[in-house]
Amino acid sequence: MFFEDLGLMDYKTCWDYQENIFNNTIAQKITNRNLEATEQIETTNHLLFVEHPHVYTLGKSGDASHLLINSKELENKQATYYKINRGGDITYHGPGQLVAYPILDLDHFFTDIHKYLRLLEETIILTLDEYGIKAGRSHGETGVWLDADNVFKARKICAMGVRCSRWVTMHGWGFNVNANLDYFSNIIPCGIQDKSVTSLNKELGEDVDMNQIKEKLKKHFSSLFNCQLVSKDIL
């Protein structure tokens, strides 16, 4: 699997980059159907890490009223807003939040989107465990949570939303590592009104080394998906 760390990248630029890989993978799968087995070109798998400037994104099933500020206020906060083609409702991305976009042909792994989402969550859960934080899942709510079973303390540390077509995935997770949580006050995160959000640095009381946590995430991701990550130069 090709791995790329895109650094800090504009959301739309990165979305277009994802779409290019995603669409090329699907096109190759369609082409392969009409070729003999010996002539088929194997599809590739990709994992992208990135941070975005302040941006709010609304999934295709989301409610636009969950963005609580207008266009002028967005401008004042130096934030942008996009309606996008993943599942889920509204979320925030910004500096200090580690975003991952796995663009996988699940025919190489398993054709089960439920299992796919659970493995993405497990990547985060195992990584948090290395920092002494016990995380888990909230029934019926995709993502990674702390104290999910306590209605008064439940808080989300990682949001997830994906798109899948012909068993090819895109979009992924937004993991609050050193994120500025104030920006979440401008939305109803993921459309969930009765639970808060948190970040790793808030839970630990200090900022976290991003390079260190990237290596931990890569380790657990490659183990769970039984793959080897190979660095690829940015196109």
Q: What proportion of the chain, given as a percentage, has pLDDT over 70?
A: 96
190 belongs to the catalytic site: yes
Domain tally, the chain: 1
The residue from 14, 158, 164, 190 that is catalytic is: 190
Residue in the block written with tokens 């104030």: 182
User: What pTM was computed for the model?
Assistant: 0.93
Q: What is the mean pLDDT of residues 96-119?
A: 98
In the numeric block, which tokens belong to residue 74?
A: 């967005």
In terms of Cβ atoms closer than 10 Å to its own Cβ (0-12, 13-18, 19+), residue 84 is middle
CA distance to 37, 67, 122, 208, 217, per residue, from 127 (Å)? 39, 30, 8, 12, 6
Q: Which domain holds residue 197?
A: 2-231
Task: Give the model confidence (pLDDT) of 66-93 as tens digits.
Answer: 999 899 999 999 999 999 988 788 889 9
Radius of gyration of the chain (CA): 18
Is residue 60 within 8 Å of 87, Cβ to Cβ? yes
| CATH number (domain holding residue 165) | 3.30.930.10
Q: What is the pLDDT of residue 235?
A: 45
- For the chain, the residue count is 235
